Amino acid sequence: MTDTNGFSLTRRGALVSGVAAASTTALPLDAQPLPAEARAATVPVSFTVNGKKRALDLDPRVTLLDALREHLHLTGSKKGCDHGQCGACTVMVEGKRINSCLTLAVMHDGDEITTIEGLGKPGDLHPMQAAFVKHDGYQCGYCTPGQIMAAVAMLQEVKDGVPSYVSTDLTAAGRIDAQEVRERMSGNICRCAAYSNIVAAIADVAGAEDVA
Amino acid sequence: MKPFTYERATSPAAAAAAVAAKPGAKFVAGGTNLLDLMKLQIEAPTHLVDVNRLGLDTIEATPDGGLRVGALVRNTALAADSRVRRDYGVLSRALLSGASGQLRNKATTAGNLLQRTRCPYFYDTNQACNKRKPGSGCAALGGYSRALAVIGTSKDCIATHPSDMAVAMRALDATVETVDGGGRTRTIPIADFHRLPGSTPWIETALTPGEMITAVTLPAPVRGTHIYRKVRDRASYAFATISVAAILPESGTPRFAFGGLAHKPWRVAAAEARLDGGAKAIAAAALAGATPTSQNAYKIPLVERTLAAVLAEGRAA
Ligand SMILES: Cc1cc2nc3c(=O)[nH]c(=O)nc-3n(C[C@H](O)[C@H](O)[C@H](O)COP(=O)(O)OP(=O)(O)OC[C@H]3O[C@@H](n4cnc5c(N)ncnc54)[C@H](O)[C@@H]3O)c2cc1C
Ligand code: SF4
Ligand code: FES
Ligand code: FES
């Protein structure tokens, strides 16, 4: 495991060994023979993730989220619900935010994908990451990578003139206030309910004046 | 998910031929409904034909002043198109009221029309559901039916169609263009596209097996006030309990289509002739013959009250 946070045992490492210890009597998963019909033919796919070309050979059932987390070990994107209901898995594909849990990796051949790992690094944070730190835009942090990816792409949507359900004038140029932030970020659920600080962080980056 | 094979289609006709040739094959567009259902094994296609890169993602002006929307145009792109925002406000608003920013970036025009019901028993594979398992019965009858249909129902199914976009398209009299496995094309008026459940609730649309949607065409714009009002249990990111798509022209007949009431977007010509009678008369005509359950009877007065709000908004505009 690559050690990015300076500790010899990461939280994830502890979690994995904990699970292994609890299931010593069970067969390791990959030792169980799969019935023939359960072994789907793999499909080659290559895409660019955070500026790096990646080529994979995948069971077509693998979602983009699982490809990123389990195959490329980019565990920043989180799996909250796996059904498009929480936003924890939000990544950008070709610059647009999507739920990576509801799309197949093999559907993204040739695409440019950005995850939270590609947005900024410790010591070189993206302004949105820095604003979440400054405004305490999280408690447990589980929803945070998805919130940040969604927020960055959301501000681009406003610049691109995408209206929202609460925009009073559909044809007017994009304007951002607290109501707009809440509506446009409704696809990201925070179980810790850090919403007011999340709105403040996004407003800070957007330069919005009337955002409470 | 059950295993499946995967192919990237090379043309709409080839995609339709590929799905028609293989029993159990399905198209995949945005994947936001299909993959959700595949994870729950409610859908279990054996073969997926990816229709994403066939050039069906453009919005073009038609000779008669309307717009031809490619089947793969994303919900965000359609809602944000400057012509749609200016001339088809009801459609832009309906799209923006649905799902979330992330989902709308993936969801497609065709996929949205074909999304399956949100009936809780359809989603629970331990329950009887004629739609999921023909002939197994309907657990919603006598079950938890608060969100389900009040009109056009049958003794075999009381599900609603969950799309917001389709309700606006019904008000706009859109037409659906298709190509089938033999390469034949046809157009289907949106009024005939979705079906009532009857005794075959698993047959939801007029499409034949392997028939692929290539575009949805909007006729020339109807000038006037366009409103989409959605009532739901939370302020955003929730399906409609009921919704109203309204086009109120300066003079002439208004248009009202309703979501959350039936197995298809609900529109009744007789109701549109009752504008003089106000919300009460319009609602009464739109809901004539309704058969709500004790749990969803609240939708009947809610339609009238939502219409009253829509008419007030129209007068203020
Ligand atoms: C959490 C959540 C909340 C949501 N909230 C709302 C909401 O409030 N309002 C709302 O309206 N919707 C809502 N949705 C549903 C969403 O709008 C649909 O999932 C989406 O529109 C489906 O489009 P898609 O392109 O992803 O379809 P897919 O999942 O790719 O396909 C859906 C179906 O259409 C078929 N299909 C796709 N393209 C074609 C074609 N060209 N020809 C023939 N068949 C085709 C597929 O085979 C499949 O059966 C929500 C979804 C989620 C997950
Ligand atoms: S209402 Fe329709 S979808 Fe719901 S359980 Fe009954 S048959 Fe199934
Ligand atoms: S994990 Fe993708 S939306 Fe919840
Ligand atoms: S910070 Fe805990 S879920 Fe959002």
Can you tell me whether residue A54 is helix, strand or coil? strand
**ipTM of the assembly?**
0.97
Which parts of chain B have pLDDT scores under 70? none
Ligand 4 pocket residues where CB is under 6 Å = A 138-144, 190-192, 194
CB B6 within 8 A of CB A43: yes
Check CB contact under 8 Å for A87 and B100.
yes
Question: With contacts defined as CB-CB under 8 Å, which chain B residues touch A96?
Answer: 76, 105
SS3 of chain A: helix, strand, coil, percent, to 5: 40, 15, 50
User: What's the CA gap between B305 and A61, in Å, rounded?
Assistant: 46
Residue A23 has pLDDT above 60, yes or no: no
Judge whether A163 is closer than 8 Å to chain B, CB to CB.
yes
CATH number of A127-206: 1.10.150.120
User: What's the CA gap between B83 and B85, in Å, rounded?
Assistant: 5
- Give B83's strand partners: none
Locate the chain A residue with the closest alpha carbon to B6: A60
B185 φ/ψ angles, rounded to the nearest 5 degrees: -110, 155
pLDDT 10s digits, A165-207: 999 999 987 789 999 999 999 999 999 999 999 999 999 999 8
User: What's the CA gap between A5 and B241, in Å, rounded?
Assistant: 47
Q: What is the pTM of this model?
A: 0.93
Ligand 3 pocket, residue A59 CB under 6 Å: no
pLDDT 10s digits, A50-90: 999 999 999 999 999 999 999 999 999 999 999 999 999 99
In this predicted structure, what is the pLDDT of residue A40?
Answer: 63
Q: Which of B27, B93, B102, B236 to mutate to test the interface with A (most CBs of A within 10 A)?
A: B102
Q: In what order do the strands lie in the sheet with A43-49?
A: A52-58, A43-49, A112-114, A90-93, A96-99
Among residues B189, B169, B191, the alpha carbon closest in space to that of B243 is found at B169
Alpha-carbon distances of B115 from B32, B74, B109, B161, rounded to whole Å: 9, 14, 10, 8
User: What's the CA gap between B8 and A212, in Å, rounded?
Assistant: 47
Interhelix angle A195-206/A127-134, nearest 10 degrees = 140
Judge whether B42 is closer than 8 Å to chain A, CB to CB.
no
* B169 contacts: CB under 8 Å, gap ≥ 6: B91, B113, B190, B216, B218, B265
Check CB contact under 8 Å for B76 and A96.
yes
User: What's the CA gap between A157 and A154, in Å, rounded?
Assistant: 5
DSSP conformation letters of A15-44: HHHHHHHHTTTSPPGGGSPPPGGG-PPPEE
- The CA distance from A205 to the nearest CA of chain B, in Å, is 19
CATH number of A43-118: 3.10.20.30
CB A89 within 8 A of CB A78: yes
In this predicted structure, what is the pLDDT of residue B279?
Answer: 98
In this predicted structure, what is the pLDDT of residue A41?
Answer: 86
Judge whether B235 is closer than 8 Å to chain A, CB to CB.
yes
pLDDT 10s digits, B247-289: 999 889 999 999 999 999 999 999 999 999 999 999 999 999 9
Token pair of B133 as six digits? 């398992």
Ligand 2 pocket, residue B263 CB under 6 Å: no
Check CB contact under 8 Å for A163 and B76.
no
Domain boundaries, chain A: 43-118, 127-206
